[in-house]
Structure 1
Amino acid sequence: MTDLFPTAVPPAPGPEPLRADAPLADRLRPLTLADVIGQEHLTGPEGAIGRMVAAGKLSSMILWGPPGTGKTSTARLLADAVGMRFISVSAVFSGVADLKKAFAEAETAAKAGQRTLLFVDEIHRFNRAQQDGFLPFVERGTVTLVGATTENPSFALNAALLSRAAVLILHRLDAAALDTLLTRAEALAGPLPLTADARAALVASADGDGRFLLNQAETLYNARIAQPLDPAGLGKFLQRRVAVYDKDRDGHYNLISALHKALRGSDPQAALYYMARMLTAGEEPLYVLRRLVRFASEDIGLADPQALTQCLAAKDAYQFLGSPEGELAIVQACLYLATAPKSNAAYVAYKEAWKSARDTGSLAPPANILNAPTKLMKDIGYGAGYSYDHDAEDGFSGDNYWPEEMAPQTYYRPVERGFEREVLKRLEWWDKKRREKRGG
């Protein structure tokens, strides 16, 4: 039988030698895993990657993290650390033919006793069918897959693929890590033309992205600035990086979750911060207002019935005024919600009542509270014995309104906060009157 693959093992494509005029970020790429900045929780001796390297055996993995945190460098250095062939493809520029070629080369290498690390950058950009194509090669051990993504793998990747790969989270680079990166750049290219305050401002402007920081530094070097710039001069010279925020992706959901939880935790300062993060990044104000309206019912409810009114008034004000004037009404609603008494009693009651409705099917209400518009209905007992509450003492009859086959339930349990304290008193009084009517 003819062998499907040639006997010669094609060499894995290695990195091209760096030119003297290569970008600063490329010239500063780490040479070992120990040189990777800011990801010691993974690359250190106790980290997942550190332990794999020490054992000399890699599992397939997904590297999830923001841009400029070292995903590509980490993958290449992983292959070097355990003596594997390294093949890299990008989901942006590669198609099925490129993948088939990579898998064929890996099969050939495996027959010669060589293991292959296949690095797939932006792996979330492959569709579901393409992602499924990795599965047989990963399962057979033809390749060790290392995917890189900036998107939440739970949403962006197939469950089948996730079950075969560990998800490792790379952190955005903090100020200390970015400062270390700048120090390395200065050791290679000389001091930056910045005052100490301007240098700190440059680090802050990177928003955790090491590649962006080095590109900004290279722009400063290329400009050959004679006198060090102060923060104001730096601001004029460099454009501040736009915050990472995809309105239909993970950054969007992270910030709205943070806003909701800050409101629930009665922290108006943090709530304003996260709302400002969303709006300054381009979020639709009406989306934020919809979330505030939901919060008013879910987390405040009758503890402060005005919360919902405030949110709807803010929506009307924003639609009337537009941006930026109308955004102040959104701020007012946000502050009102954060400082209002909290109760999720209405939300809990809603969940429990809906469950009961599904569980009990089509139980009929008691006959005495059924409407009887026809003589036949009256003859069979509809409405018979109904007590009109307004005719009763205290305006309360104490009748039973539950189906005969179902015991009375308690869904709504007001808390002793805000207006619900008064609601609780009413419910307790009505319960007492019902017990008295039933004789105890």
Structure 2
Amino acid sequence: MDWLREHPEVKTIRIAAADLNGVARGKRVPARFAEKVLTEGTKFPYSVLNLDIWGEDIEDSPLVFESGDPDGVLLPTERGFLPMPWLDAPTALLPLWMFHPDGRPYDGDPRQALAQVVARYDAAGLVPVVATELEFYLIDDSGRTLRVPPSPRSGKRRTGGEVLSLRALDAFDQFFTSLYDACESMDILADTAISEAGPGQFEINLMHQADPLKAADDTWLFKMLVKGVARQYGFAASFMAKPYNMWPGNGMHMHFSVLTKAGKNIFDNGGDAGTDQLRHAVGGCLRAMPGSTLLFAPHENSYDRLVPNAHAPTGIGWAYENRTAAIRIPSSGPKARRIEHRVAGGDVNPYLTVAAILGAALNGIEEKLEPTPAFQGNAYDQKLDQLPGTWQEAIEAFASCPDIKSIFPAHLIENYLMTKRQELHYMAELSDEETVELYLDTV
């Protein structure tokens, strides 16, 4: 309550948790009732964390009619109250996660799934250090055709992509200034911003931190924040995997290293190659990659991004300092030796993505898995095993993957499969325009 006492201007709060698609589900509460939420939590039906992308119940889910649609208990995460700078009225957000009434974590909560993976690392005496890089488009969606919004500075629209262009960044300087101020107020560790290859496409890196839960929280909150600030300026921000057919899609690359409790990077052998444990972590990630694709590409539109020669990986392979690879070992000082996982789109649930990657890496370390040899050159020209090429193929790979079963609770796997099969069925009824309208803001 100290934060609210320091901010008496805040009259309402939002309490919210992430569902399986990463969509924030929650309530609006008058600030004077906040102490009750802090001490007692609140209740949502378990089914609320298992809605489809339209926000509809999953048909025939045992969480709904079969069980009477019972409530779980949502308690505040360690994050506490955060300002919501994109709203006109002073408002605070209180992030939540779900438990059973007897205090057990609810296995269908994606944040709880990540907490279980982190607990495995802790039991092994290890600490994952995680950072994410998020690409997004700024889009004028006021007409029938998506296009680049006019610059708040000049009023002009830029029609092409400009990689690492200061001019492109400066055209939206007011937006980025507001965004970074908001990140500071929300304790989101936003670092470098660059312009990307698509018109109105940008990337912002979030800082490395030795707390995967906070890294995933920051990523989830950052997506919410970017969308909200963009609307303040009269345009949309979208993390949709492929909003434009002719331009590159949006990715969410994840960098990670693993430390001992004493702070030693277990991937660092003092040279460029890295340790056996680095290779084993890569081996685990590669083995789990087909089954994990549904988490890295969770929507129909996701597969428009995962095509050859489109700045997104399609082959299951790894390489040193090679951005065509699904897994890249970046050049760095030995102490910063790390793995970059490049498969996920911007449309993912960050809790599930971070859990899948860290869980697969730990499986590889524990089993001492040897990866296929690192390749050189263009990944698209290599004879590599391929990621699932369609949403349907990814659903079936997820359902049968032993690594997925070792990383995630069976209850979450069942719920996620029911969700994606329902979405696959109903997405077939939508036109291309309706598909874009659905995904533009929701993911």
Q: TM-score scaled to structure 2, two decimals?
A: 0.22
The structure in which a higher percent of residues are strand is 2
The structure in which a higher percent of residues are helix is 1
Higher RCO, 1 or 2 (CA under 8 Å, sep at least 6)?
2
